[in-house]
Amino acid sequence: MPKRISPIPFDRQNGARLMSYSPNVPLAKHKAGLLLSLVLAAISLSFFSPLMVWVVLLSVCAAVVRVSLFLGWYPQPPASRTVNLLAVLSLLALGWFSLSLGLLISMINLLVTACSLKLMVMRNQRDLLQLFLCILFLCGCGYIFEQGMLFVALYSAMVIVAFTALALQYASNQSYTYQLKMLGNMSLQAFPIAAVLFIIFPQLPPLWQMPSTQSASTGISDTMRPGDIASLSQSSELAFRARFEGKVPPPQDRYWRALVLEYFDGEEWTMSARRKAAEGQRKLQDRPFRPQVIGEALQYRVFAEASRQQWLFTLDVPVPGSPITSEKVWQSTSYTFIANQNLMSAMAYDVMSYPSTLLNQTNSRTDSYLNRQVPQDGNPRTREWAALLSQQYPDPKQRLNAVLDYFKQQNFSYTLNPPLMQSDGIDRFLFDAQTGFCAHYASATAFIMRLTGIPARVVAGYQGGEQLSNKVLSVYQYDAHAWIEVWFDEKGWQRIDPTAVVAPNRINFGLEQALEDSTEFLANEPLSLRRLQHLPFFSTLRDYLNQMDYLWSHWVLGFDQKQQQNLFKSLIGEITFERMVYLMVGAMLLISLLLAAYFVPRTLRPKKPKHLHCYQRAVGYVEKATNTQRNNEAPQHYLASVKNKMGKDAYTLFDLITRAFIRMEYAQGGLEKGNTSKMKHHLNRLKRTL
């Protein structure tokens, strides 16, 4: 029996590195798997609001499993039977919870669960690629929930780490740092191209309605209980920013209307169902309310944060400031803007507001009918007082002033933490506690007005705003406010702010100044930079961050069709089809140029050394003249072989060149390498001689 049939061992200088290609991924020391599991765990931890706790735990468990496999603590992944059982249980749980979660959140929970389970049993490259794509998609979904710069940086880092994992899968012999560097480099190169593509990609309106989330909405809501705004005032989150074209209005005029609440059930104010129905009908007929405007306009662009609500914020009587805005928003008969869909992302819109226009253009019969509604019973003491008031003051204005005077005379105070006033809340507020928040004042005043037969309604929105620059205002959640509007014949709806009577500082200087006990301000956010405002360092830091954040929302989040068109206009002038074609071609050229700048230097071969170049040219001439090919002969041999085939002069020159070449090629110190001028001189003479 022959021991070895193949009698021919291959001749190799180095040990051959051969590996049979297998699509299976190793369990231990699998760098790509480790990185992906860390990314998945980090993403699911960052999704604290949309994910259920057990889903987060599952993903962390999967990551732990993968890390243990990587370190070699376990030789085997969990049995697929175990994981299948886990999958069935998870699906059941998800199915159960999805009833209450809504489509979007359920989908994300499902995706994270699927990724976690896949990670546990990842066996081959195909699994890994699927996981990679899912993780990229999850990073994208992260932007639905968080759009702050910090989270964007986090998710971008996640994307880059995920790509690093992919690169390690395709070149597993490289180190983490090498691949991370490569990917970082590639991302830096990709960014300008991405920016160009982002600018020229069409900014389309939504193609279809997407499921949105109710749970995580922020800002004011469409029902107002007295406590709601107080709790909102504890938040230093940004609500929106506004950039004015001209002058910024003074603080006392900054009443940002968002919602008009016309139905009162004794405890809370809500939007009137009749108003909603009427609005719905107008929408069906596509007949938005367009008030006639007079006087000077305030022109501004609002960058609203993603509130997951539809309410937008405008001053006084607004009209859409650009055709693109009028496509995105609906103008209601309450003189407010409503976005066509919930603000799942930051949104920018343009407004023209007319402070001198009166709010008397709506159907006065409907308005006064809706706004004289009061509940059947409850708050008996207030009812009594209202009856008394209407006898004493037949003039509506006097009646209103009487109420406001009452607040003043009785030493009402302004606080974020009023005592609980449960049943007959307005009675208790007016006659017992005599302390409360804007919602209490607005609610009580409007109720009394209605009881005395004067149409009144509550407006919820924001009041004030912090000046970021001489054109930009930032409005925070703690600027949330409620005031009332009272219908006076002819003049229509007039804004009345009962809170201003009690706490004038609230209107002129903001919430912090208005609170008698300043520890109430942002009591739940002890570390908020806004609270540390009085320290110069933090004040500067906050200013700086705010400026950055403004630029971010101006240029990135708020970049829309209008800004795109403005940009195009500034580049090509008037937009015509022909010019747009040029623009697109230009953009493509720009991208190609960028690519060329990145890659052409890499393809260039190293230059030949000068002396070699000289020698080879000389050989070329000699070959032509003597008809003797060199064919990789050693220079000296070649010199000898052509000695008798050429003239003496030429031979001498070629001899000189050959010797110079040998000297330089094999010079130890490399001193003579650079100096090829003599060689060139000889070469020129050789050329002439031959």
Partner 1 sequence: MQQVIKRSLSNWFVSWLKRRIPAGKEQSLSHSKIFILPSRFGVWFIALCGLLFVLGTNYQNNLMRLLCTFLLSLFLLHMLASYINFSRLRIKALKIEAVFAGKESAAPIMISFDGKMAQGVVHFSWWRSNLNDTGSAMLSDNPTFADVPFTLTNRGHATLPRLTIRSDYPLGLFKCWTHLDLDQHLIVYPAPVKCDIKMYELASEEEAVSKVTKGGFDDFHALREYSPSDPLSNVAWKQVAKTNEWLVKTFDQPVSSSGWLTWASASSQDTEQRLSQLTYQIIQLSEHNAIFGLALPDLTVPPGKGNTHMHKCLNALALYRLTDKTVHA
Residues 206-235 that bind partner 1 (CB under 8 A): 206-210
- The residue from 28, 64, 91, 194 that contacts partner 1 (CB under 8 A) is 194
- The residue from 38, 52, 102, 143 that contacts partner 1 (CB under 8 A) is 143
CA–CA dist 356, 484 (Å, integer): 18
**Least gap, CB of 125 to partner 1 (angstroms):** 8
Instruction: Using the rule CB under 8 A, give the single segment among 11-19, 224-232, 245-253, 382-390 that binds partner 1.
Output: 11-19
Determine if 8 is a binding residue for partner 1 (CB under 8 A).
Answer: yes
Contacts of 128 (CB under 8 A, 6+ apart): 25, 32, 33, 36, 122, 169
**Least gap, CB of 190 to partner 1 (angstroms):** 4
Determine if 16 is a binding residue for partner 1 (CB under 8 A).
Answer: yes
Q: Considering only residues 163 through 182, tell me which ones interact with partner 1, judged by CB under 8 A.
A: 163, 166-167, 169-174, 182
Tokens 């070329």 sit on residue: 620
Q: Which is nearer to partner 1, 534 or 605 (CB)?
A: 605
Q: Which is nearer to partner 1, 17 or 648 (CB)?
A: 17
- The residue from 595, 597, 634, 640 that contacts partner 1 (CB under 8 A) is 595
Tokens 């195909």 sit on residue: 126
Active-site residue numbers? 438, 481, 497
**Least gap, CB of 146 to partner 1 (angstroms):** 9
CA–CA dist 466, 251 (Å, integer): 9
Residue 518's Cα: distance from chain center in Å?
33
What is the enclosing helix (H) or strand (E) of 347? Answer: strand 347-354
Q: Which is nearer to partner 1, 146 or 268 (CB)?
A: 146
Q: Compute φ and ψ for 628, nearest 5 degrees.
A: -120, 120
Pairing of strands 347-354, 255-261: unpaired
**Least gap, CB of 55 to partner 1 (angstroms):** 21
Q: Considering only residues 279 through 298, tell me which ones interact with partner 1, judged by CB under 8 A.
A: none
Distances, alpha carbon 320 to alpha carbons 231, 302, 309, 356, in Å:
32, 11, 19, 17
Determine if 152 is a binding residue for partner 1 (CB under 8 A).
Answer: yes
Q: Which is nearer to partner 1, 387 or 596 (CB)?
A: 596
User: Do the Cβ atoms of 425 and 224 come closer than 8 Å?
Assistant: no
Sheet of 298-304: strand order equals 317-320, 347-354, 298-304, 238-244, 472-476, 466-467
Strands (E), 367-441: 413-414, 435-436
Q: Which is nearer to partner 1, 134 or 351 (CB)?
A: 134
CA–CA dist 346, 606 (Å, integer): 51
Q: Which is nearer to partner 1, 59 or 147 (CB)?
A: 147
SS3 (DSSP) at 25: coil
- The residue from 48, 73, 201, 431 that contacts partner 1 (CB under 8 A) is 201
Distance in Å from the first CA to the final CA of the chain: 69
Determine if 73 is a binding residue for partner 1 (CB under 8 A).
Answer: no
Site string for partner 1, 93-132 (x = CB under 8 A): ------------------------------------x---
Copy the structure tokens of residue 211. 């499921």
CA–CA dist 443, 379 (Å, integer): 12
Q: Residue 477, CB half-sphere, CA atoms under 13 Å: how many?
A: 22
SS3 (DSSP) at 69: helix
- Angle ∠(27,33,36) on CA atoms, nearest 5: 160
Q: Which is nearer to partner 1, 326 or 434 (CB)?
A: 326
Q: Which is nearer to partner 1, 97 or 598 (CB)?
A: 598
Q: Considering only residues 316 through 345, tell me which ones interact with partner 1, judged by CB under 8 A.
A: 344-345
**Least gap, CB of 628 to partner 1 (angstroms):** 25
DSSP structural state of residue 8: -
**Least gap, CB of 564 to partner 1 (angstroms):** 11
Determine if 193 is a binding residue for partner 1 (CB under 8 A).
Answer: yes
Residue 522's Cα: distance from chain center in Å?
25
User: Do the Cβ atoms of 481 and 463 come closer than 8 Å?
Assistant: yes
**Least gap, CB of 177 to partner 1 (angstroms):** 15
- The residue from 198, 369, 509, 582 that contacts partner 1 (CB under 8 A) is 198
CA–CA dist 637, 593 (Å, integer): 49
270-273: long-range contacts, CB 8 A cutoff, minimum separation 24: 270/222, 270/223, 270/224, 271/222, 272/370, 272/373
- The residue from 48, 74, 137, 369 that contacts partner 1 (CB under 8 A) is 137
**Least gap, CB of 10 to partner 1 (angstroms):** 5
Determine if 12 is a binding residue for partner 1 (CB under 8 A).
Answer: yes
- The residue from 186, 278, 612, 690 that contacts partner 1 (CB under 8 A) is 186
Site string for partner 1, 605-634 (x = CB under 8 A): xx----------------------------
Tokens 């001198």 sit on residue: 356
Q: Which is nearer to partner 1, 297 or 346 (CB)?
A: 346
Instruction: Using the rule CB under 8 A, give the single segment among 162-170, 269-277, 474-482, 519-527 that binds partner 1.
Output: 162-170
Determine if 140 is a binding residue for partner 1 (CB under 8 A).
Answer: yes
Determine if 538 is a binding residue for partner 1 (CB under 8 A).
Answer: no
Determine if 677 is a binding residue for partner 1 (CB under 8 A).
Answer: no
Q: Considering only residues 562 through 591, tell me which ones interact with partner 1, judged by CB under 8 A.
A: 591
**Least gap, CB of 685 to partner 1 (angstroms):** 35
What is the enclosing helix (H) or strand (E) of 538? Answer: helix 536-552
- The residue from 556, 571, 583, 612 that contacts partner 1 (CB under 8 A) is 556
Determine if 29 is a binding residue for partner 1 (CB under 8 A).
Answer: no
Q: Which is nearer to partner 1, 54 or 178 (CB)?
A: 178
Determine if 190 is a binding residue for partner 1 (CB under 8 A).
Answer: yes
**Least gap, CB of 565 to partner 1 (angstroms):** 15
Determine if 20 is a binding residue for partner 1 (CB under 8 A).
Answer: yes
Determine if 187 is a binding residue for partner 1 (CB under 8 A).
Answer: yes
Which amino acid appears at position 637 of this protein? H
**Least gap, CB of 156 to partner 1 (angstroms):** 8
**Least gap, CB of 160 to partner 1 (angstroms):** 10
Q: Which is nearer to partner 1, 4 or 81 (CB)?
A: 4
**Least gap, CB of 617 to partner 1 (angstroms):** 23
The dihedral built from the CA positions of residue 664, 668, 670 and 671, taken in this order, carries a sign that is negative
Q: Which is nearer to partner 1, 342 or 463 (CB)?
A: 342
Size of the site for partner 1 (CB under 8 A): 73
Q: Which is nearer to partner 1, 166 or 386 (CB)?
A: 166
Q: Considering only residues 344 through 403, tell me which ones interact with partner 1, judged by CB under 8 A.
A: 344-347
432-440: long-range contacts, CB 8 A cutoff, minimum separation 24: 434/410, 436/226, 436/412, 437/226, 437/229, 437/230, 437/233, 438/229, 438/481, 438/482, 438/483, 438/499, 438/506, 439/224, 439/225, 439/226, 439/227, 439/228, 439/229, 439/230, 439/482, 440/226
The total of other beta-carbon atoms located within 10 Å of residue 251's CB is 16
Q: Residue 591, CB half-sphere, CA atoms under 13 Å: how many?
A: 15
